Amino acid sequence: MAWKTLDDMDLKGKRVLVRVDINVPMENGVVTDMTRIERIADTVYDIQDAGGKVILMAHYGRPKGKVVESMSLIHIAPAVADELGVPVTFADSDYRDAVKEMQGDEVLLLENLRFNPGEEANDPAFAKRLASLCDIYVNDAFSAAHRAHASTAAIAKLRPSCAGRLMAEELGALEAALGSPKRPVVAVVGGAKVSTKLDLLGNLVGKVDHLIIGGGMANTFLAAQGINVGKSLCEHDLADTAREILEKAKIVGCEIILPRDIVVARDFKADADNETVAPEACPADAMILDAGPATVAYIEEVLTNAKTLVWNGPLGAFEIAPFDAATNAAAQAAAKLTKAGKLISVAGGGDTVAALNQADAAKDFTYISTAGGAFLEWMEGKELPGVAALNG
């Protein structure tokens, strides 16, 4: 992949329009997680240090092309100002006048892009209106890069464009993980359903050396091999698809790792009575809720010999103890190897970030993506419109 960064642009005296993701959770008018706002700071500061004027644009929620007061970015502007430590002016509709009046180190924040139906329609006219505000366009919202919207795709053709610091960091991490990785490469894919990750599994089988499948997804693969999984979450109708994936893996030399032992319970609740048995010994009236210690031991062995790890999804019902044990142990093993400089580890997806944080492992991973859908589509091998647009 080839894309320009801020270092390739002459920003002095330029109006720089930056697409960011500050779609943060709020309760009672207060931002409850500042992570996404914190992550835009480097881009803003570097543009200002180079003499550029920063104009931020973003979406919030799903207003579907209509003005919804509760989704106005005016509610987030104070949090952005607090984090950046500079004045943030809000422009609700008169963008051009607001840009003309910008002074000093002031940052301008435009109203929610999705209030305009032209945003999600990738409308050339709306993109042209946005482009008229700036000399240079910067995309720093990888999490929105899988959308072909006016602020991520169409506008990039209208002005000199580049990736912001966060976008460049994310793309660099992803390139290191699957683009041209150090081998052996291991992927962990977990979660409830195979059906939501068919494209992902199909792409990874041809790119990684070991594919660890966990969570409810693993039950479908076990059942496809003739194992009775009792009352476990399982997509029996995808048995043929699971067998095709297993066969493809065998042909290309990718080892698929399924649970070697399982933790089962009759009740889906915290601290439910449970036992560890072989997959073939799953009781008819029980559910598989986690992988067992023998599985974890083998995963740790595989990780010890690996150079690169890509992780998406938990290995069990990590939300409730003790069924978080396999996810916690594997995550901590990966974190320890990463911290020791022996492993490049990249993870992403909502449940994944939550699981790694719960295991106190996220801080030691090489890179944690908060991008969700974009991260998943990248792992699936799909071209992301927002990234492709930067490549000209």
Active site residues: 36, 193, 350, 373
Q: CA–CA separation, 223 vs 11, rounded Å?
A: 58
- Tokens representing 178 are 């699957």
SS3 228: coil
SS3 9: coil
Cα-to-chain-centroid distance, residue 350: 7
Residues sharing a CB contact under 8 Å with residue 249, sequence separation 6 or more, in sequence order: 205, 211, 255, 256
SS3 18: strand
3-state SS, one letter per residue, for 116-133:
CHHHHCCCHHHHHHHHCC
Half-sphere exposure for 108 (CA within 13 Å, toward CB): 25
Alpha carbon dihedral 62, 346, 193, 296, in 10-degree steps, equals: -150
Place of tokens 């890069």: 145
Pairing label, strands 30-31, 136-139: unpaired
Range list of β-strands (E), 147-284: 161-163, 185-189, 210-213, 255-257, 262-265, 274-277
- CA-closest candidate to residue 151, choices 106, 98, 114: 114
Half-sphere exposure for 115 (CA within 13 Å, toward CB): 17
Q: CA–CA separation, 14 vs 46, rounded Å?
A: 13
Cα-to-chain-centroid distance, residue 299: 23
